[in-house]
């Protein structure tokens, strides 16, 4: 069941209850960004943040039949499913009704720069199969990447291969990310960046074209993925359930906040539609959100011509799709957003890639057996695949977690999954001339388990067992 699709813009408006007289519509979408194991372990996050949040989500959806909430990926939904068997029927029911939606079908919200292409596709496949195997028929068409540090310019090609034609991204090169960039907002967007280009075009909505011509309709969350988190609160932030805010639903204050959001979004809108995202890290649902929006519409719609509706990113992009002709088509390479993760924790990067390649090699053997009419060896333990695609996450393979999480959980998961996957990847050619391979003026020399790159100016020694970490630099006779 393809979730939330409609044939025309008019059909979408009718389904969402948007009046014909509304000349501007702000879609208020609600989610919560759940990192599997960034600053804390997955179990800690689940017990402290996710379980109470999902309990509240299901209760709110049951009380408000017009309300929708989007789950961004399956990792924590799987933990919740195992922890709350008494709510299985309710989850299926709300998903079938279209109230519990999925802003992506992956196990994670992956990094798309470091994992190999096949692993990103497997991430989406494993997550979609998780839904199917539990009797949930939803088939998302959108890929929601709120927190990844830049994105591959070839992502539209992978998405179309997976059957997805909508995307929503946030962190792109040159933008100012609220709460992360300490310097003055006047220094953003960076000249010549992707953010500057979209701002100059006056559109947060665009058709993203990959080098091979594949296209996906895309929205850039220019003010962050928790832009509307404080719509019913005052204070600093609602992130992670911390006591940094308090409820403030006074109509005058709500009106001021909504006016501010509309002012923020107006310069980047070429269509009658705006997207307000609620869903920063581990936020809980806004109590009685539909009631809050209804009250605003009753007070302000006739005066402003603007209508607020709780819906999903897919719904928003379906509305925008009716105006595709006015949107720019962009060959988008939104990098580098942040370069620190390319070299951090190389042992995790290496282990994640090794595990993925082992699993893919095993699948290739099994596929060959099936095509040859031979007896197919039993499937691999599904836990190994779950770990492999979880390692795609933008705080896992990137190496941004603290030592207690990286060593205590991430490395341990990868080691156990690799030990349970003792299949070799494709063999590489043996080093030529007794361990030396030369190309031009550069020589690769194996010394024990160390790989030494020799050049005219010196040599660098790498340790493959530590993810390719540089362990020695010798420049013109100076040992660094």
* 131-to-29, 80, 279, 371 alpha-carbon distances in Å: 22, 13, 22, 28
Please state the φ and ψ torsions of residue 460, each to the nearest 5 degrees.
-125, 135
Q: By the 8 A CB rule, do 25 and 319 touch?
A: yes
In angstroms, rounded to a whole number, what is the distance separating the alpha carbons of residues 199 and 204?
8
| CA dihedral sign of residues 148, 152, 154, 158 | negative
Segments making up each domain of the chain, as ranges: 9-330, 345-419, 432-479
Question: What local confidence, expressed as pLDDT, does residue 457 receive?
Answer: 78
Question: What local confidence, expressed as pLDDT, does residue 476 receive?
Answer: 64
* 119-to-122, 125, 141, 205, 342 alpha-carbon distances in Å: 5, 10, 19, 28, 18
* 479-to-423, 445, 466, 469, 475 alpha-carbon distances in Å: 39, 18, 21, 17, 7
Residue whose entry in the numeric block shows the structure tokens 């509706």: 309
In angstroms, rounded to a whole number, what is the distance separating the alpha carbons of residues 297 and 276?
15
Q: What is the pTM of this model?
A: 0.89
- Both tokens of 340, joined, read 């620190």
Q: By the 8 A CB rule, do 192 and 177 touch?
A: no
In angstroms, rounded to a whole number, what is the distance separating the alpha carbons of residues 156 and 295?
39
How far apart are the two ends of the chain, measured CA to CA in Å? 60
Question: What local confidence, expressed as pLDDT, does residue 378 receive?
Answer: 74
In angstroms, rounded to a whole number, what is the distance separating the alpha carbons of residues 308 and 18?
8
* 449-to-222, 347, 425, 463 alpha-carbon distances in Å: 47, 15, 19, 7
Average pLDDT, the chain: 92
Residues in the chain, total: 480
H/E stretch holding 439: strand 436-439
Which of the listed CATH numbers 3.40.50.2000, 3.40.640.10, 3.20.110.10, 3.40.47.10 matches domain 9-330?
Answer: 3.20.110.10
In angstroms, rounded to a whole number, what is the distance separating the alpha carbons of residues 169 and 253?
29
H/E stretch holding 147: none
Please state the φ and ψ torsions of residue 409, each to the nearest 5 degrees.
-130, -55
In angstroms, rounded to a whole number, what is the distance separating the alpha carbons of residues 387 and 356?
9
Cross-strand pairs, 46: none
* Strand-strand pairing, 329-330 and 205-209: parallel
Residue 477, judged by CB atoms within 10 A of its CB (0-12, 13-18, 19+), counts as: exposed
Question: What local confidence, expressed as pLDDT, does residue 192 receive?
Answer: 95
Question: What local confidence, expressed as pLDDT, does residue 462 receive?
Answer: 82
Cross-strand pairs, 472: 461
Q: In tens digits, what is the pLDDT along the chain, a chain of 480 residues?
A: 666 678 899 999 999 999 999 999 999 999 999 999 999 999 999 999 999 999 999 999 999 999 999 999 999 999 999 999 999 999 999 999 999 999 999 999 999 999 999 999 999 999 999 999 999 999 999 999 999 999 999 999 999 999 999 999 999 999 998 766 678 888 999 999 999 999 999 999 999 999 999 999 999 999 999 999 999 999 999 998 888 999 999 999 999 999 999 999 999 999 999 999 999 999 999 999 999 999 999 999 999 999 999 999 999 999 999 999 999 999 999 998 888 888 899 999 999 999 999 999 988 888 888 898 888 877 767 899 999 999 999 999 999 999 999 999 999 999 999 998 877 654 444 444 445 555 556 777 888 878 888 887 788 888 877 767 788 888 865 555
Query: CB neighbours of 469 closer than 8 A, spacing ≥ 6?
Result: 346, 347, 462, 463
Residue whose entry in the numeric block shows the structure tokens 């959806």: 61
């Amino acid at each position: 069941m393809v979730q939330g699709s409609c044939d025309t813009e008019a059909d979408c408006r009718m389904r969402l209850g948007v009046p014909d007289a509304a000349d501007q519509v702000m879609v208020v979408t609600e989610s919560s960004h759940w990192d599997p194991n960034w600053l804390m372990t997955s179990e800690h996050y689940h017990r402290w943040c996710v379980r109470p949040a999902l309990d509240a989500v299901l209760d709110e959806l049951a009380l408000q039949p017009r309300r929708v909430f989007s789950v961004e990926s399956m990792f924590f939904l799987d933990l919740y499913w195992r922890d709350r068997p008494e709510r299985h029927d309710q989850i299926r029911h709300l998903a079938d009704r279209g109230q519990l939606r999925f802003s992506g079908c992956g196990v994670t919200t992956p990094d798309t720069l470091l994992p190999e292409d096949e692993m990103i596709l497997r991430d989406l496949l494993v997550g979609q199969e998780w839904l199917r195997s539990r009797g949930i028929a939803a088939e998302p068409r959108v890929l929601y990447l709120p927190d990844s540090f830049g994105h591959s310019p070839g992502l539209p090609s992978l998405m179309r291969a997976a059957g997805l034609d909508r995307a929503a991204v946030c962190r792109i090169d040159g933008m100012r990310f609220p709460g992360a960039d300490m310097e003055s907002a006047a220094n953003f967007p960076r000249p010549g960046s992707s953010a500057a280009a979209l701002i100059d075009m006056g559109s947060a909505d665009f058709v993203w074209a990959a080098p091979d011509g594949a296209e996906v309709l895309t929205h850039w969350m220019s003010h962050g993925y928790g832009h509307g988190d404080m719509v019913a609160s005052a204070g600093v932030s609602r992130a992670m359930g911390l006591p940094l805010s308090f409820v403030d639903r006074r109509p005058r204050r709500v009106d001021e906040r909504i006016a501010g959001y509309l002012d923020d979004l107006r310069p980047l809108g070429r269509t009658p539609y705006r997207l307000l995202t609620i869903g920063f890290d581990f936020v809980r649902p806004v109590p009685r959100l539909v009631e809050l929006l209804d009250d605003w519409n009753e007070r302000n719609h006739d005066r402003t011509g603007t209508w607020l509706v709780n819906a999903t990113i897919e719904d928003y992009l379906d509305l925008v799709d009716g105006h595709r002709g006015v949107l720019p088509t962009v060959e988008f390479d939104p990098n580098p957003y942040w370069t620190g993760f390319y070299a951090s924790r190389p042992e995790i990067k290496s282990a994640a890639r090794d595990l993925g390649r082992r699993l893919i090699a095993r699948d290739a053997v099994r596929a060959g057996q099936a095509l040859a009419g031979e007896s197919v060896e039993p499937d691999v333990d599904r836990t190994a695949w779950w770990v492999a695609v979880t390692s795609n996450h933008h705080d896992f393979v990137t190496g941004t977690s603290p030592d207690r999480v990286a060593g205590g959980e991430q490395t341990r998961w990868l080691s156990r999954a690799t030990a349970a996957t003792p299949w070799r990847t494709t063999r590489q050619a043996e080093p030529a001339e007794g361990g030396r391979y030369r190309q031009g003026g550069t020589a690769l020399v194996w010394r024990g388990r160390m790989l030494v790159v020799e050049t005219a100016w010196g040599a660098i020694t790498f340790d493959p067992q530590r993810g390719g970490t540089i362990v020695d630099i010798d420049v013109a006779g100076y040992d660094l």
